[in-house]
Structure 1
Amino acid sequence: MPNVQNVSTTQRPGAAARLSDWMRNRSWAIAMTVAIVITVGGLVILETARERIAAEYETALEARDVTVQLSTLASLLSRLSAQQNHFLLTKDDASAQDFCASAMQIRHSTQQLNQFYRSRNADSAELASFTQILALIEGRIGAGAVALQRAAPHPLDLGACGSTSEVNAADAALIDSTLTLLRDNEERRAQHALAASRADQRISTLCAAGLSALNIVLFILLFRNLGIQIDRQARVQRQLITQQEELDQLVNERTRQLEALGWHLQAVSENEKTQLARELHDELGAILTASKMDVAWANRKLKDSEPDISDKLKRALANLDQGIALKRRIIEDMRPTVLANFGLVTALRTLADEAAQRNNWTLDLHLPADDIQLDEQTEIALFRVAQESLTNAAKYARASKVSIALQVGDGQVALHIADNGVGIMPADLKRTHTHGLLGMRQRVAAHGGQFDIRRGVPNGTDIDVMMPSVSTATPSVDLPPSTPSRTPV
C-alpha cells in the first residue's frame, strides 16, 4: 500500500505539471475564445434589448398619438354642440354649414381611430368600447342635424352631415366618459411601455458594463501571454535576422557572379557571331562566288549548243544568287557590317529602312545627322535592342508606323522606339518566359544602363533605353572576358 501511494503521489504532480504547461501554452487561445464567446453573447443580448426598447418606444408613441386623436375627437364633439346651440340661437345658415363641416372632421377622425382599434394593437374590450362610441357619435350627429332642420326658418342643405332621419339623441356625458376611459387606457399603455423601455435600458447598461469588465480581465490575460510570446518571437527573430544576413550575403555574391556570367556570355556570344560571320564571309562567300563564276562560264559555253543545259545553269545561277543573298543576310544579323564600318547611326537607319520595306511601315526617324562616337559594347547593345524591338513589332504588334529616336548628351545616350500597334499587355511584362525582353534588360543592365518598356497611349508599345556613352560593364575576376573585335567584312 505505501508503494502504491508513492506511485500515485508521483504521477499526480507529473499530470498537474503537464496540465499547467498546457494551460500556460494555450492560455492565450483559451482567453481569446472566452472573450469572443462573451462578446458575441453580450452583443446578442444588447441587440435584443435594443429591439425591445425600440418596440416599446414605438408602442408609447403610438399610444400617445391615439390619445391625441381621442382628445381631438372630444374637442370636435364639443365644437359640434357649440355650433348647434349657436344656430338655435341665431338661425344663421353659416352655423349650420360649420356644423356639417365639424361632422365631416369627426367622421374622418373616427375612421383613423377605427383603423387602429381594428388592428392587432387593440384588445377586444377597447374595440367594443370604440364601436359603441361610433354608434353614439353617429346618433349625436344625426340628432343634431334633425334639430337644425326643425329649428330652421327654411329648409337647409345638410347633405354633408349624413343621415338626418329621426334618431334618438346620444347622451353627451356617456360619449365623454367613454372617450375619457379610452384616453386613460392609452395613457396607461404609454406609461407602461416607457417604464418597460427604461428597465430594458438599465439592464442593457448593466450587461454592457459587465461585458466590458470581463473583456478587460480577459484582455489583460491575453496581453500578458502576448508579452511572453513577443519575447520568444524576438529571440527567434534575432536568430532569423542573423540567418537572413548570411543568406543576403550569399545571394548578393551569387547575383554578382550571375551578372558577371551574363556579361561574359554576351561577350562570348558576340565574339562567336563575329568569328562565324567572318568564316561565312571568307570561306562560304569564296565557295559561292567561285561556284557562280564556274556556272556562269559553263552557261556561256553551252548557251548556243545546249539550250536545255543552259536553262538548268541559269536556274543554278539564280539559286547561287539566293544563297549569296542569304549568306549576306545571316552575316548582317550576326554582325552587321554597317555597324562595324559606318557606326551606330547609319546602322540604325539601315536596319529601320529594311524593316519598313519588309513590313510596309511608315518610318519616323529622329537620328543625329552625323555619326556619333560610342564605346563598341554600347553600340552593340543599342543596336541589338533596336533589332529585337523591330522584330517583336513585326511579329506581334501589327503596327503601321514605327518611330526611332537617338540622342546623345551629358555622358549618356538615349534610344527611344515606339510603334502604333496593339500594344504590349501588362501581364506580358511580368512573364518570366519572355526571353526577348529579359535579354534586352540584361544586355542594357550589364552595361550600366536602364531599360523601360510600357504600353503606349492610347495603344502601341514604347521602349526607352538610357545608357552611358562609355560602357561601365566590368567582367568578374573569375570570368576573364573575351575581347570583341570589329568584323572586317
Structure 2
Amino acid sequence: MLNVSNTHRSGATVRLSDWMRNRSWAIAMTVAIVITVGGLVILETARQRIAAEYETALEARDVTVQLSTLASQLSRLSTHQSDFLLTKQDSSAQGFCATAVQIRQNEQQLSRFYRSGKADSAELVSFTQIVALIDARIGAGAAALQRATPHSLDLSACGSAGEANPADATLVDSTLTLLRDNEERRAQHALDASRADQRISTLCAAALSALNIVLFILLFRNLGIQMNRQARVQRQLITQQEELDQLVNERTRQLEALGWHLQAVSENEKTQLARELHDELGAILTASKMDVAWANRKLKDSAPDISEKLKRALANLDQGIALKRRIIEDMRPTVLANFGLVTALRTLADEAAQRNNWTLESHLPADDIQLDEQTEIALFRVAQESLTNAAKYARASKVSIALQVGDGEVALRIADNGVGITPADLQRTHTHGLLGMRQRVAAHGGRFDIQRGVPNGTDIHVVMPSASTATPSVDLPPSTPSRTAV
C-alpha cells in the first residue's frame, strides 16, 4: 500500500510539473499582468498622496505668508499712529484706517483657513485670541488718534473706537510667531512626507520595471523553448509523414504489382481453360454429336421414337457447343487473338447491340492497329465491362464506341444515353467492376475517367500508352446508326 501511495504521489507530482511546464508561459504572463496592475495602483496611490502633501505644504506656506503679512501690517499700523501723534497730519490717520481695513481682510482669509478644520483646536483658539487682541488694538489706536486732535477725524473705516486697554504688542507678536512656526513645521512635514513618497514611488517603479523585465525575459525564453520544441515536433511529424508516404507508396506499388500479377494469372488461367475447353470439351462434344447424328440416321426409319429423342439430343449438343464457344469467347476472345483489337471491339459492340436492341455508333479505325498484347487485353476488357454495365444498369437505347491512336497514346471512349452514373455510385467501394477497370488501366500506366454524360448517360474515357509499332489510323466518318433486333 505504501508503494502504491508513493506511486500515486509521484505520478501527481509528474503531472503537476508537466502542467506547470506546459502552462509556464501563461503563468508568467498572468503574474506579470498582476504585478503590473498592482504596481500601477501603488504608483497612482503614491501620486495622489504626493499631490495632497504638496497641496498641504503650499497651503501652509500661504498661511505663513499671511501671518507674516499680518505682523507687518500691525507694525505699519503702529507706525501710522506714531506719525499722527507727532505730526498731526490727516494722511497718517487715513493710513492708519487703511491699514486697519487690510488687517481685517487678512483676518477674514485666515479665519476661513482656521475654521475649515485643517488646523487643530489649539491653533484655532490662539488665532481667535489674536483677532480679539488686534481688534482691541485697532479700537484703542483709533480712540487715541481722536483724542490727540482738536478737530473731528473721519475714522469710520477703522471701525468703532474703543477705550479698552490694548494688548501688549509682544504678546501678539509671540502668538503670531508661534502660529507661523506651526505652519512652517506643517509645511516642512508635508514636504518631507512627499519626498519620502517620491523615493518610495521611484523604488517601486524601478522594482516593478526590473521584475517585469525579468518576467518578460523568462517569458520570451520559455516561448523560444516552446517554439524550438514545436519545431522539433514538426520536423518529426514531417519525417514520419515522409516515411509514411514512402511506406504507402511502396505498399501501393506492391498492391499494383500484385493486382497486375493477379490479372496476368487470371488471363493466363482463362487462356489455358479456354484452350482446354476448345480442345478437350470441343472434341468430346463434336464426337458425341457425330455419334448421335449417325445413330439418328440409322434409327430414323426403324425407330421413330428413338430418332425423335436423338434429334433433341443433337439440339442440346448444338446448344452446348454454342455455350462452349461463348464461354471461350468471354474468357479469351479468339477474334482478339486472331484478328486484332479493332475487329474484336467492332464484333463485341455489334453483338452487344444485337442482344440489347441498341442503336450503335462506331468510330473505329479502318485498319487494325498493332499494340502489345497486355494493352489490347486491357482495352478489350474495359470495353467488355462497360458494355455489360450498360446492359445491366443503364437502360440505354444508344451506345457509341470510339478508338483513336496517336502521339504515343491510344484512347478508348464508350458512352451511352442511359440513366447515367451518380456521384454516390462512384464513391461506393463495392463496385468491383469499376475498381477492376481502374486497376487494370492503372497497372499499364494509363488514365481512367468515368463521369455522367450531358444531358444524361455515362461516359467512360481511357487513355493508355501505345506500343512503338502502332501506326496512327484515320477514323472513319460516323456511320449511319442502325437499329438491330435480336
**Per the shorter chain, which TM-score range?**
0.5 to 0.7
CA shift at 1:32, angstroms?
A: 11
CA shift at 1:431, angstroms?
A: 2.0
CA shift at 1:432, angstroms?
A: 2.0
Distance 1:18 1:460, change over 3 A: closer
CA shift at 1:370, angstroms?
A: 1.4
- Show the counterpart of 2:466: 469
CA shift at 1:250, angstroms?
A: 2.6
- Show the counterpart of 1:398: 395
- Show the counterpart of 2:256: 259
Q: Is contact 2:359–2:399 with CA below 8 Å preserved after alignment?
A: yes
Distance 1:226 1:439, change over 3 A: farther
Return the letter of the residue paired with 1:382.
L
Distance 1:245 1:291, change over 3 A: same
Larger CA Rg, structure 1 vs 2? 2
Give the whole-Å Cα distance in 1 for the aligned partners of 2:292 and 2:316.
11
- Show the counterpart of 2:279: 282
Q: Does 1:454 align with 2:481?
A: no
Give the whole-Å Cα distance in 2 for the aligned partners of 1:424 and 1:395.
13
Deviations 1:108-142 (A, max 9, x none): xxxxxxxxxxxxxxxxxxxxxxxxxxxxxxxxxxx
Look up the SS of the partner of 1:452 in the other structure. Answer: strand
- Show the counterpart of 1:356: 353
- Indicate which of 423, 426, 436 corresponds to 2:423: 426
Q: Does 1:345 align with 2:351?
A: no
Give the whole-Å Cα distance in 1 for the aligned partners of 2:397 and 2:29.
66
Out of 321-330 and 374-383, give the one that drifted further: 374-383
- How do residues 198-277 of structure 1 correspond to structure 2 at under 5 angstroms? 228-277=225-274
Distance 1:234 1:327, change over 3 A: same
Distance 1:30 1:453, change over 3 A: farther
Look up the SS of the partner of 2:418 in the other structure. Answer: coil
Look up the SS of the partner of 1:457 in the other structure. Answer: coil
Give the whole-Å Cα distance in 2 for the aligned partners of 1:362 and 1:236.
63
CA shift at 1:252, angstroms?
A: 2.4
Distance 1:23 1:394, change over 3 A: same
Return the letter of the residue paired with 1:298.
A
Give the whole-Å Cα distance in 1 for the aligned partners of 2:466 and 2:19.
69
Out of 23-32 and 233-242, give the one that drifted further: 23-32
Distance 1:254 1:24, change over 3 A: closer
Return the letter of the residue paired with 2:355.
R
- Show the counterpart of 2:321: 324
Q: Is contact 1:345–1:370 with CA below 8 Å preserved after alignment?
A: yes
Deviations 1:324-346 (A, max 9, x none): 00000000000001111111111
Q: Does 1:445 align with 2:435?
A: no
Distance 1:26 1:354, change over 3 A: same
Give the whole-Å Cα distance in 1 for the aligned partners of 2:456 and 2:313.
47
Deviations 1:397-451 (A, max 9, x none): 1111000001111121111100000111112112222111111111111112111
Give the whole-Å Cα distance in 2 for the aligned partners of 1:461 and 1:220.
67
Q: Is contact 1:454–1:461 with CA below 8 Å preserved after alignment?
A: yes
Return the letter of the residue paired with 1:391.
T
Give the whole-Å Cα distance in 2 for the aligned partners of 1:311 and 1:372.
50
What's the TM-score once normalised by structure 2's chain length? 0.52
Give the whole-Å Cα distance in 2 for the aligned partners of 1:369 and 1:17.
81
Distance 1:325 1:237, change over 3 A: same
CA shift at 1:231, angstroms?
A: 2.9
Q: Does 1:297 align with 2:294?
A: yes
Look up the SS of the partner of 1:372 in the other structure. Answer: coil
Look up the SS of the partner of 1:403 in the other structure. Answer: strand
- Show the counterpart of 2:369: 372
Aligned pair count reads 275
CA shift at 1:248, angstroms?
A: 2.8
Deviations 1:242-272 (A, max 9, x none): 2333333333222222222222221111111
Distance 1:222 1:356, change over 3 A: farther
Give the whole-Å Cα distance in 1 for the aligned partners of 2:283 and 2:331.
19
Distance 1:20 1:383, change over 3 A: closer
Task: Extract unaligned runs of 5+ from structure 2.
Answer: 1-11, 32-215, 470-486
- How do residues 42-61 of structure 1 correspond to structure 2 at under 5 angstroms? none
Distance 1:276 1:18, change over 3 A: closer
Task: Extract unaligned runs of 5+ from structure 1.
Answer: 1-14, 35-218, 473-489
Q: Is contact 1:299–1:313 with CA below 8 Å preserved after alignment?
A: yes
Give the whole-Å Cα distance in 2 for the aligned partners of 1:394 and 1:319.
27
Return the letter of the residue paired with 2:390.
A
CA shift at 1:220, angstroms?
A: 12
Give the whole-Å Cα distance in 2 for the aligned partners of 1:365 and 1:346.
12
Look up the SS of the partner of 1:276 in the other structure. Answer: helix
Distance 1:339 1:229, change over 3 A: same
Deviations 1:364-387 (A, max 9, x none): 001111111111111111100000
Give the whole-Å Cα distance in 2 for the aligned partners of 1:368 and 1:407.
7
Distance 1:266 1:312, change over 3 A: same
Distance 1:246 1:309, change over 3 A: same
Distance 1:413 1:17, change over 3 A: closer
CA shift at 1:230, angstroms?
A: 3.4
Out of 241-250 and 18-27, give the one that drifted further: 18-27
Return the letter of the residue paired with 2:360.
L
- Show the counterpart of 1:78: none
Q: Is contact 1:448–1:471 with CA below 8 Å preserved after alignment?
A: no
Distance 1:245 1:318, change over 3 A: same
Q: Is contact 1:375–1:471 with CA below 8 Å preserved after alignment?
A: no
Give the whole-Å Cα distance in 2 for the aligned partners of 1:278 and 1:246.
47
Q: Is contact 2:408–2:468 with CA below 8 Å preserved after alignment?
A: no
Return the letter of the residue paired with 1:245.
E
Give the whole-Å Cα distance in 1 for the aligned partners of 2:373 and 2:325.
22
What's the % identity of the aligned pairs? 94
RMSD, aligned CA:
3.1
